[in-house]
Structure 1
């Protein structure tokens, strides 16, 4: 694979770059690469192709042939047997006589990452790596691979990938990807140490590594450190970018101070290099909602809508969800109708946003109607959408309807995920059916994708209390065994919240139950937290 510097080293417009097909020679500033190297057994040659574009988000894809990459993406995402992996789809595609290009494969990877199908995205890169010199992979591609490895194989896998790279190939993007992996894992000490190394190598000349660290401190609720990083950037006369300001806004808002958040916004307006975008106002709206200032939140949502450009679906998803959070059913539905007018084909995420909002607003009749509409047009069954309605039925105490809906979901071709089974657990616990609840717990731990799921602490505590009430120690011990086998009890914070300490039941399950509101935020895959936008957009900056 050939390592290439990204396009921004050249004074060439994106539109003109699309017409070039052959690589052009160019100098590589600040990146001393050998003319020939060997990494993972694949020769690496330094060259630069103007047709290879790192910042895929800046390309107008409607000017390029889309059918081929889109068809490949659909084949991968709709695989019946996911164990075969993306490589089997790509092999079959070429067996049918159709040659795959680097651009198409990278576009597929981008789409898979967008919808959090990280394992499939990494398998596409593995397939390209196995093709020797056929594909010219840049350091940007290596950074994306490192990021995917961290998500799929864990931090140890990302570190191993990083250490196998020759030091000469580790540029700011590679270091940035590893830093992002540490931040995602909330490994503060390693992240802080790596940031110091990034600074010592002279790679911290732009806002991105500081932005990533700010998200770490924000997630750790160490808001004063977010302010410290902003101060450090200002002392170094480093330009804050739009992400810096948006994270800073979110941090101030998370402290519950509208005044401090508004101070940052005023400073942002004074910075002539920054134009507030839809994310800015979406973030502020989210914070105003948490503070109960719904009028200010709705004012921000109007500004979100006025700043949507191009054919970007994501802002509409957040608008629909946030209007649901402020309790404005009519605006949520109005935005949905606008969205449907602009985008004739709506992905599962769009249906999830509107059904989630309508369920929260209690408009179950309209939610059911849109669900039926989705069943007619869906490309694949997303259990998260069905879980929304099931959760409502259980909450209303209608377990029979929830079970009937579950059966229909399976008949429709839906594959229940761990959260589906946990919803049934809640229903059975409401009826004090320990045996049935335990059976659903077992299914939840075995369901596909269960490794990325964690049972809600309140549900675990409630089950323990029910077992104690019914004097059923055996069922309690079975669930403890499932938790231990899945290694959840190694997390001391989680273990304490579910009433377990050192592997023993403390009996103090009520303390975890008090955190039910927090459980909804941490564990409910139907909740749309506006702060997630910041993390997703930073990820796209790799």
Structure 2
């Protein structure tokens, strides 16, 4: 009875749950600025920290990739006396790596007291190395973990295998599997799936099927829907559509009817086999299972229909989404804008852009990229430059990664101005690129050539190169004497 009473007291009351930080964090939006402001307000108002509240909030922030606010909350709570468990310390290490870099994460790990250097903190550091593609560090750390008997689960080996997969070294993955087995660590579903993909990457489809057979024989691990999604994707890549569709039928047999990702994988993979009938069948099933169909599902369906060339079907699906959507997601109009632009239907693409704008969805970097590609293909370079400028402006309003034009696009635009002997156009474009630090030696060399072919001078060109610490190729260096002459 006493234990039950203590447990009851430890639980948060209904009022506390309603007022909890994690309930307040996202009421003003999900941007890092709004969440950070809510945390600052809460820190100022709150005298005491409730560990369950901080833990839940940090978890939610990490899920939404709001790593800076998560780190601030955790570190402030620690300074105010909240004791970190070894699990909290592993999370702390991961957040430091994501916000301050791997060197800071390594220092945090080294400064941990020895009792805290356990399988969790070692595993967190290993995961950081794998995320940063630091192969040698990851390999060395895993060996150390083996010596300390800290590599006792598939998780550590899975991290290394994922690293090999992402760095183009699939041939190294079977050896990791054998190493796992030698150390009496048995593969889990993820291990089998990444093993299958590694064999597919080197063209060993029979090997993939042998791994599947081994998985079926393994009494501990059951092949779930993700296994058959993985298998179907492998068969599609190998051009074996009949086998892919059999795998997809098996996927349907094993999936939970309330698992949205499974439905979306089915639609995508049936689309990749070119089976439009099955795409529509699964789409109808998805909508029955999820009457409030989310934007992401409509986005996936419209993308698949466009890839299959069913533009009218994509338009109907878009209208259905538009009629019932609560948030007007620019990604959906972008799919149709891209389809129209590819088909040289510029007016329809522009009309769709304006339609989205009127519904409150401003064009984003992808929107302007699509139009830039169209104008580049149709040799309307002045319009390309405007689109790039608009994309840069849209990028600045986003909290995501800064947008930059591709090197191929920059080269094509600079080459055009060079061919047209258009110094003013080249300089204008140069200034746009400079705003996003997208100026390198290739851009300068093209600018120098433009001045040269136009017969114009720029006495300050050498100074500009020096200020930017840019070295140009010998051919461009030879032209500088003429370009820089008074």
TM-score, scaled relative to structure 2 = 0.76
Residue matched to 1:225: 172
**Is the aligned partner of 1:130 residue 2:80?**
no
Structure 1 position 129, deviation (Å)? 3.9
CA contact (8 A) 1:489 1:503 kept: no
CA distance in 2, matches of 1:482, 1:505: 23
Does residue 71 of structure 2 align to residue 89 of structure 1?
A: no
Counterpart for residue 75 of structure 1? 27
Alignment of 1:187-266 (within 5 A): 187-266=134-213
Residue pairs, 1:296-335, within 5 angstroms? 296-309=243-256, 311-335=258-282
What does residue 312 of structure 2 align with?
365
Contact 2:25–2:39 (Cα < 8 Å) also in 1: no
More helix by share: 2
Q: Which runs of 5+ in 1 are unaligned?
A: 1-16, 24-50, 53-64, 493-501, 508-542
SS at match of 1:272: coil
Distance 1:450 1:122, change over 3 A: closer
Give yes or no for contact 2:264–2:300 (8 Å, CA) kept in 1. yes
Q: Secondary structure at the match of 2:255?
A: coil
* Pairs aligned (count): 435
- Which residue of structure 1 aligns with residue 377 of structure 2? 430
Q: Secondary structure at 1:130's aligned position in 2?
A: helix
Where do 1:385-400 residues align within 5 Å?
A: 385-400=332-347
Aligned-pair CA distance for 1:298? 1.3
CA gap 1:479/1:238 in 2 versus in 1, 3 angstroms = farther
Q: 1:476 to 1:336 in 2, by over 3 A?
A: farther
CA distance in 1, matches of 2:113, 2:326: 43
Partners of 1:205 and 1:238 within 8 A in 2 = yes
1:31-50 equivalences under 5 Å are none
**For residues 456 and 91 of structure 1, do their structure 2 counterparts lie closer, same or farther at Cα, with a shift above 3 Å needed?**
same
Counterparts of 1:431 and 1:326, CA distance in 2? 32
CA RMSD, aligned part only?
3.9
1:259-318: CA deviation from partner (whole Å, max 9, x where unpaired) = 121111112112111100111111111111111111111111122222223743222222
**Cross-structure match for 2:350:** 403
Larger Rg: 2
Is the 8 Å Cα contact of residues 87 and 124 (structure 1) preserved in structure 2?
A: no
DSSP-derived class of the 1:227 partner: helix
- For 1:348 and 1:377, locate their aligned partners in 2 and report how far apart those are by CA, in whole Å: 10
**Unaligned ranges ≥5, structure 2:** 443-469, 476-486
State the distance in 2 between where 1:90 and 1:316 align: 37
Q: Describe the shift of the 1:365–1:290 C-alpha distance in structure 2 as closer, same or farther (beyond 3 A).
A: same
Deviation of residue 181 (structure 1)? 2.2
CA offset at residue 212 of structure 1? 0.7
- Rounded to whole Å, the distance in 2 between the matches of 1:480 and 1:149 is 37
* 1:461 Cα offset (Å): 5.0
Q: Is the 8 A contact 2:302 2:318 kept in 1?
A: yes
SS at match of 1:75: coil
Higher relative contact order (CA 8 A, sep 6+): 1
Question: Residues 454 and 95 (structure 1 numbering): CA distance in 2 closer, same or farther, change over 3 Å?
Answer: same
| 8 A contact 2:49–2:77 mirrored in 1 | no
Structure 1 residue 246 displacement after superposition: 0.8
- Give the conservation status (yes or no) of the 8 Å contact 1:147–1:178: yes
Partner of 1:182 in structure 2? Answer: 129
Change (3 A) 1:89 1:425: same
Q: CA deviation at 1:357?
A: 1.0
Give how far 1:72 is off. Answer: 4.9
Q: Distance in 2 between matches of 1:376 and 1:323?
A: 26
Partner of residue 451, structure 1? 401
Aligned pair in 2 of structure 1 residues 294, 198: CA closer, same or farther (>3 Å)?
Answer: same
Q: Distance in 2 between matches of 1:141 and 1:459?
A: 46
- Structure 1 residue 83, shift from structure 2 partner: 5.2
CA distance in 1, matches of 2:471, 2:345: 35
TM-score by length of 1: 0.69
- The structural deviation recorded for 1:457 is 5.3
Output the CA distance in 2 between the equivalents of 1:105 and 1:345.
32
